Amino acid sequence: MPLALTSITDVGVIAVLRAPSPDAAVSAVDALVAGGVTGVEITFSTPDAEAAIAEVARRHGDAVLLGAGTITRPEQAESAAAAGARFLVCPGTEDGLARAMKATGATVMLGALTPSEVMAAVALGADVVKVFPASLGGPAYLRSLRGPFPDVPLMPTGGVNADNIGQWFGAGALAVGAGSELCSSAAMKAGNWEVVEDSARSFSAALAATRAAA
C-alpha cells in the first residue's frame, strides 16, 4: 500500500480547497490544521495552485497530507508533484492523464461514479477511486458499489458534512472528501478563518465519534 494511501486512511477527511488566491489557500490550510483537519487537496481551480502547494509544504511539512486536485492536464500532475503534492486527484478517468499521474510516483485518485467507470479507474492503476459527485446517490449508493467492489478503496466527495460523515464510513468509505461543506468559498473570500477552523473542529469531532463507535 502506498505511503500516502495509508496516510489517507489515517487522516480520514480530505479538505478540497477551491480558493480564490494562493494566499487564501495557505491561510485556509492553517485554519483547517488548527481545527484538526490535516488532509488537504488544493485544486487547480485555485489560481497559481503550485505556489500554494509549495508554501503549504514548506510551512507544514509532513504534518499535512498534501495533494493536488482537479488535475485535467498531464503537465499539472508533474508540476503539482514537483511542488510537494503527495497525492493527485482527477475528477474523471482518462488513459493518458492517468499515465502521467502514475509517472510522478504520487498516490493517484481517479474520479468515477458508475460501476463501469470504477472498473476503468482500477484498470488504469488508480490507488483510490474518488466517487464523485457522491451527493447524487448518497451513502446508500456507496454501499451498493461496495458489493461488486469490496476491495477497491473508495473516497466519496460531494455531499459529505459533519452530520452524515458516520453514514459514509458505515457504507464503506476509505476516507471522505469535503469541499464547501468544510471550507466555504464565502469564508475564504472574506478571510473568515475562524469559521473555517470551527468547521474543521466539527468534522474532526464527527470523525472521532465515528471511529469510537466502530
Q: Which of 41, 50, 55, 197 is catalytic?
A: 41
Q: Is 102 a catalytic residue?
A: no
- Dihedral sign, Cα of residue 43, residue 47, residue 52, residue 54: positive
Residue 26 cell numbers, joined: 495557505
Q: How many CB atoms lie under 10 A from the CB of residue 74?
A: 17
Look at the chain and count its residues.
214
Q: Are 210 and 166 in contact (CB under 8 A)?
A: yes
Q: Are 109 and 130 in contact (CB under 8 A)?
A: yes
Residue 166 cell numbers, joined: 458516520
Q: Is 130 a catalytic residue?
A: yes
Q: Which of 50, 55, 102, 130 is catalytic?
A: 130
Rounded Cα gap, residues 126 and 176, in angstroms: 16
Q: Catalytic amino acids?
A: 41, 130
